[in-house]
């Protein structure tokens, strides 16, 4: 039950893969590893700069509504702080998940008679992460979760 036994199992990769990861790779952005900083900066710019341009075109960047865009601290924090932090958090989270799954084997929590079942569970989890059904569920659940709050305001 050493680390060499744990190395025989497929790694638990929940933060690597899936539809978001595939999109970032198509855009030549690497969500994990050395490219995570660049990805965080590019995604922050791609989400914040269009809002700045649209608000300037509409005339609400510095004046107009109750809180003009350039003075809206919440918008800046969401796009320029929270988004990069979420992207950068994937690196240590993925590393710790892999270590935790390997620890199940090295600590003897998964016995030798359950190795095949444990391996199948990891592979099934990775397939679910990459499935179109999961992508569809997330896509349809997100607008619904934002809907009632938006109508309550």
Q: What is the pLDDT of residues 104-150, one digit of tens each?
A: 888 888 888 888 898 888 888 888 887 877 777 767 776 554 444 44
> What is residue 32's predicted lDDT score, i.e. its pLDDT?
67
Note whether 126 and 120 are within 8 A (CB).
no
**If you write DSSP's letter for every residue of 57-120 in order, what string do you get?**
HHT-SSSSSSS-GGG-HHHHHIIIIIHHHHHHHHHHHHHHHHHHHHHHHHTTSS-GGGHHHHHH
Q: What percent of the chain has pLDDT over 70?
A: 80
Q: Give the pTM.
A: 0.65
Residues 6 or more apart in contact with residue 108 via CB below 8 angstroms: 1
């Amino acid at each position: 039950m050493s680390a060499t036994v744990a190395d025989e199992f497929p790694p638990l990769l929940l933060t690597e893969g899936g539809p978001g990861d595939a999109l970032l790779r198509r855009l030549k952005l690497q969500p994990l590893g050395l490219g995570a900083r660049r990805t965080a900066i590019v995604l922050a710019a791609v989400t914040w700069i269009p809002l700045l341009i649209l608000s300037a075109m509409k005339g609400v960047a510095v004046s107009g509504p109750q809180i003009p865009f350039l003075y809206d601290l919440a918008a800046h924090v969401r796009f320029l702080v929270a988004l990069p932090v979420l992207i950068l958090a994937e690196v240590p989270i993925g590393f710790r998940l892999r270590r935790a799954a390997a620890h199940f084997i090295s600590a003897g929590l998964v016995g030798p008679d359950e190795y095949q079942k444990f391996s199948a569970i990891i592979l099934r989890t990775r397939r679910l992460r990459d499935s179109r059904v999961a992508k569809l569920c997330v896509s349809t659940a997100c607008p619904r979760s934002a809907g009632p709050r938006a109508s309550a305001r």
